[in-house]
Amino acid sequence: MPVMTLFRSPRINQMQYDAIIQALNLEEKPQVGMLTHACGFDQKGIAVQDVWESRQDFDAFVADRLKPVFAKLNLAFVEPEIIETYKFRVSDGVDRHKVGQGPTFGAERERPAAGGPTLGAGH
């Protein structure tokens, strides 16, 4: 059964998120079971919402890839909320956001000012 994950933290800024994504190298080495990924920032900090094929796929990603990247970047890992899905659908328009089908999320935006915590801060 697919699961949704929700990660929130006031301690991860956009530069740190970009460093995490670069270190994970998901475009070259996609993670088995990851169906969707979205990230945004608001007054509470970062919010990352994923949908995974199964809890086992998500747990393997966290143990084998995500926690080691956080450790390498000297960032504190915050356990996400994990919610079993009731329904999961994607619209036809989702195809334009697939990896390799054009710019990745955020690529069309300007980089933010370097304010906020720096790599390694806030742990």
Sketch out the chain's domains with CATH numbers.
3-97 (3.30.70.100)
pLDDT per residue over 71-101, tens digit each? 999 999 999 999 999 998 888 777 776 666 5
Output the pLDDT for position 97.
67
Q: Are 117 and 16 in contact (CB under 8 A)?
A: yes
Q: 102, 29, 93, 40: which is closest to 66 by C-alpha? A: 29
Output the pLDDT for position 26.
87
Output the pLDDT for position 52.
96
Placement of tokens 């990247």 in the chain:
69
Residues 6+ apart with CB under 8 A from 8: 44, 45, 46, 47, 48, 78
Residues 6+ apart with CB under 8 A from 18: none
Residues in the chain with pLDDT < 50? Answer: 103, 105, 107-123
